[in-house]
């Protein structure tokens, strides 16, 4: 059934910018403040208040445009999008319509099997967010909604793709890539749960081979990658069933319900879709010249693809390691810092991908909260290099750094973990072990070389892991041979 039809998906992503203040006033954008405590005459829409554009929001829009290969408009304007809702105090949202700041971009996504596909980006425009409505849940409040305008006026980018995706998997690949880029750029904190990265999906189906698009439904405000996949899958099935039964797909807005996994029509919203955009007379045109674009190009951080390539080239690690280490900007920064301090690309990769990531997963925390900072990890690795501790003891030191937040040298000194390289001390231990195990000594001398491992284990155990393994090997061989 699915193969008879082709799915067509276009995505609109709202990215909340990490500016300290709102897009048209100086109110803070901090999340989680008491309701309406971050408001002023501009974002409350009090009469006579005038908006003034936040220059940093423009910087961020340019950065996002450059990173997605868009053309930055030399001149763009703001428009009013008119509709009524209690969390939109002005009765219109300031957005961009005819002349958005960025157009004609693209992102290349990786598909399963290693192929890449180019997804077009139609436009990126700047706009303000609305406030938040909450709906009464008790008998006394069920007739009311409650409005918090702290979020009203928070700067957003709306990034609109071409209808270029043909499966939920491609849609997810595009979203993850876009998410990674805006977080790398530092223009968005990427927090899906708090709504910093929200997605609307336009979904339609058409018989394979047909050129004209089918009628599309818009699924609103889905806030996790998993839900987006579920919502699209459900919507495709629903539309195919309609077409198969000779019914028509209606162009409408639908809401995804994560609890049931279905999309529901938001009836009654259709006639409100006449937004009567017109240029906002309160805001002057925005002119971005070449100098401004050049300044932003200079500030552009290294993006994931470039970083992955550099890690492979300069640090000599495999593609796979580079992929894992660059998935998140903070993790890549952490690894980069470790290598810059210590120098060993592969050994740092092993520790970060091993002990560090395991510890983070166990505690369910992010790399930003990792108690072992790069200088601590690098410091410990130096103590392996200079023979102070063995690789085995290093695991103990690492765990202790994680637990206590203290550096390797302090822990090694305090716990007496310094490796024993003094041959006299090691020889004494070996003599004891050999004397205690005459049977095994006989076996070894009779040619059963496997017993050698037994002796190494015994010596290491007796030294509590502190004996230098190379020294133990050498001395053991001599003693066993010499008799």
Partner 1 sequence: MKISLEQVRKVATLARLALPEEELHTLTGQMDAILSYVDKLDELDVADIVPTAHAVPVENALRADEECPSIGLDKALANAPTAVNGCFRVPRVIE
Beta bridge partners of 428: none
Is 284 an interacting residue with respect to partner 1 (CB under 8 A)?
Answer: yes
> Rounded to whole angstroms, what are the CA distances from 240 to 94, 122, 258, 355?
37, 27, 21, 48
> Of the candidates 32, 34, 48, 439, which one interacts with partner 1 according to CB under 8 A?
34
- Considering the complex, state which of residue 27 and residue 64 has its C-beta at the smaller distance from Zn ion: 27
Q: Which of residues 59-98 bind partner 1 (CB under 8 A)?
A: 77, 82, 84-86
Determine contact, residues 288/102, Cβ cutoff 8 Å. Answer: no
**CA 382, 388, 389: angle at the middle one, nearest 5?**
90
> Of the candidates 15, 62, 130, 147, which one interacts with partner 1 according to CB under 8 A?
147
> Of the candidates 274, 290, 362, 386, which one interacts with partner 1 according to CB under 8 A?
274
Is 294 an interacting residue with respect to partner 1 (CB under 8 A)?
Answer: no
> Of the candidates 35, 120, 186, 465, which one interacts with partner 1 according to CB under 8 A?
35
Is 134 an interacting residue with respect to partner 1 (CB under 8 A)?
Answer: yes
SS3 category, 119? strand
Binding site for Zn ion (CB under 5 A): 25, 27, 40, 42-43
Give least dist CB 196 to Zn ion, A: 19
Q: Which of residues 172-211 bind partner 1 (CB under 8 A)?
A: none
Is 221 an interacting residue with respect to partner 1 (CB under 8 A)?
Answer: no
Determine contact, residues 351/357, Cβ cutoff 8 Å. Answer: no
Q: Which of residues 331-350 bind partner 1 (CB under 8 A)?
A: none
Among Zn ion, partner 1, none, residue 111 binds (CB under 5-8 Å by kind): none
Strands 286-287 and 155-161: unpaired
Q: What is the DSSP string of 333-395?
A: HHHHHHHHHH--HHHHHHHIIIIIHHHHHHHT--GGG-SS-HHHHHHHHHHHHTTSS-HHHHH
Scored b (16 or more CB within 10 A) or e, 314-337 reads ebebeeebbebbbebbebbebbbb
Q: Which range in 36-44, 166-174, 241-249, 422-430 contacts partner 1 by CB under 8 A?
A: 36-44
Nearest to 326 by CA among 344, 313, 311: 311
Q: Residues interacting with partner 1, by CB under 8 A?
A: 19-21, 25-28, 34-41, 44, 46, 52-58, 77, 82, 84-86, 99, 133-136, 141-149, 271-272, 274, 276, 279, 281, 283-287
């Amino acid at each position: 059934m699915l193969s008879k039809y082709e799915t067509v998906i276009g995505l609109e992503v709202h990215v909340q910018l990490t500016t300290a203040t709102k897009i048209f006033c100086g109110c803070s954008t901090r999340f989680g403040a008491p309701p309406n405590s971050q408001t002023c005459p501009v974002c409350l829409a009090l009469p006579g208040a005038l908006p003034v554009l936040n220059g940093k929001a423009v910087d961020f829009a340019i950065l996002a445009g450059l990173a997605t290969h868009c053309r930055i408009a030399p001149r763009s304007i703001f428009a009013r999008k008119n509709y009524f809702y209690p969390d939109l105090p002005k009765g219109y949202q300031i957005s961009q319509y005819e002349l958005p700041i960025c157009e004609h971009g693209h992102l290349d996504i990786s598909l399963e099997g290693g192929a890449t596909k180019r997804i077009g980006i139609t436009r990126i425009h700047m706009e303000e967010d609305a406030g938040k409505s909450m709906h009464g849940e008790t008998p006394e409040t069920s007739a009311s909604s409650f409005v918090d305008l702290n979020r009203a006026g928070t700067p957003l980018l709306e990034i609109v793709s071409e209808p270029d995706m043909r499966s939920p998997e491609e849609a997810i690949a595009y979203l993850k890539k876009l998410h990674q880029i805006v977080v790398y750029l530092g223009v968005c904190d990427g927090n899906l749960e708090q709504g910093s990265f929200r997605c609307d999906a336009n979904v339609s189906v058409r018989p394979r081979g047909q050129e004209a698009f089918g009628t599309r439904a818009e699924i609103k405000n889905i806030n996790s990658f998993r839900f987006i996949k579920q919502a699209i899958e459900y919507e495709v099935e629903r539309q195919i069933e309609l077409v198969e039964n000779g019914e028509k797909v209606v162009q409408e807005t639908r809401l995804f319900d994560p609890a049931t996994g279905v999309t529901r029509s938001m009836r009654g919203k259709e006639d409100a879709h006449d937004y009567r955009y017109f240029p906002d007379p309160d805001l002057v045109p925005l002119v971005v010249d070449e100098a401004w674009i050049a300044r932003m190009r200079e500030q552009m951080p290294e993006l994931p693809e470039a970083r992955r390539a550099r890690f492979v080239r300069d640090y000599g690690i495999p593609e796979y390691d580079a992929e894992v280490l660059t998935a998140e900007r903070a993790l890549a920064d952490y690894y980069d810092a470790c290598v810059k301090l210590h120098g060993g690309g592969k050994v740092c990769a092993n520790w970060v991908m091993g002990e560090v990531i395991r510890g983070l997963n166990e505690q369910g925390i992010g790399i930003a909260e990792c108690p072992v900072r790069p200088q601590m990890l690098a410091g410990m690795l130096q103590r392996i290099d200079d023979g102070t501790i063995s690789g085995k003891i290093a695991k103990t030191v690492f765990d202790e750094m994680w637990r206590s937040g203290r550096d390797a040298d302090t822990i090694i000194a305090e716990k007496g973990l310094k490796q024993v390289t003094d041959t006299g001390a090691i020889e004494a231990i070996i003599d004891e072990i050999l004397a205690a195990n005459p049977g095994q000594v006989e076996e070894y001398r009779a040619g059963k070389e496997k017993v050698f491992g037994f002796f190494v284990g015994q010596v290491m155990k007796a030294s509590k892991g502190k004996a230098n393994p190379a020294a133990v090997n050498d001395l053991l061989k001599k003693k066993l041979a010499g008799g």
